[in-house]
Structure 1
């Protein structure tokens, strides 16, 4: 069986970049299409495609930031001007932002949990694809991923939620490593109980 040491190496060393330190260039049309295609190649019980993508590029990032700033000011009436400005610039932290929308189909034989997990797998595949293409990538779910007014501004349907906002760009600083769990602490082996 052929082995792919490059793929294993990537999986064992992948690390999120920080959106705050991303710079141009971000993924262009071809690279972004590759990232989206990788996202759509996840396990999908029932072939439901229980997810979709919303792209934020160019001026759309700033315009959506204005929406976030207005909503944040309403929710947090004591927010300072600096805080409001920060919210307005949220999506301009990276050259490209993709909202991954989880869209459930309730009442069918495919468990909703599996549909949600599939959307999570989409986010992970996209992070890996972006990293393989040489870009920094970060998956964030901050307050605006859970806000009803923000979701209305995105025209989310009744059974849709944000699985994550994925930020893509070039890295301006080296990524630092963080501690990972010891496999011995998170792994067990099931054995049949003696009667």
Structure 2
């Protein structure tokens, strides 16, 4: 797929199934992350691959985290739903920013760089015919999840990227007018 075609037409694909991306597809998706804008070339990102039985373990970790946040016991349906979250796709990438002290690159810029890497992977996945979507939410920022995944003190989760085979054809990208979002600044 042409690069501009992928950039202009990428959409999230929420219904995912097996198989997970092949090794060749993963390599292309992962290499795309490494081209993200990155002030001072800190490469402040890393990604954990979660697949197979590890997804069930992640579901149990999500459940422990949700229960730790709740003042009352979770109802059975909420427990089941939380536990099943990682089963939505055959492969999940945990996007992690490894915060570094740097005189010219504040932490928020390092998170932006990780976000750029994630966006590049989403576009590469679309170009490869792989369905993908990015989720955040309370579990991404939960200390129980961070500890369970083995994050260091300086690391933060910036989201979970779900990848797999599209369960149905991706929806068409909405037609948006660039003029609605771009304008000229008229200096005083």
Q: Tell me if both proteins adopt one fold, taking TM over 0.5 as the criterion.
A: yes
Could you say which residue in structure 2 is the equivalent of 1:10? 6
For residues 12-161 of structure 1, what are the structure 2 equivalents within 5 Å? 12-18=8-14, 21-76=15-70, 77-161=72-156
What do you get for the CA RMSD once the two structures are aligned?
A: 1.8
Quote how far apart the aligned CAs of 1:184 are: 2.4
Within 2, Cα distance between the matches of 1:79 and 1:135? Answer: 34
| Shift in alpha-carbon separation, 1:188–1:146, aligned structure 2, 3 A | same
CA distance in 1, matches of 2:170, 2:25: 22
Q: SS state of the match for residue 16, structure 1? A: coil
Alignment deviations for residues 31-88 of structure 1 (CA, whole Å, 9 cap, x no partner):
2122112111212221211110111011111111111112212323342111111111
> What TM-score, normalized by structure 1, do the two folds share?
0.88
Moved over 6 A (4+): none
Matched residues, number: 187
For the residue of structure 1 that corresponds to 2:39, the secondary structure is coil
Highest RCO, 1 vs 2 (Cα 8 Å, sep ≥ 6):
2
Instruction: Indicate if the aligned counterparts of 2:63 and 2:79 stay in contact, CA closer than 8 A.
Output: yes
Distance 1:145 1:181 in 2: 30
| Larger Rg belongs to | 1
TM-score (structure 2 length as normaliser): 0.91
Q: Distance in 2 between matches of 1:189 and 1:140?
A: 33
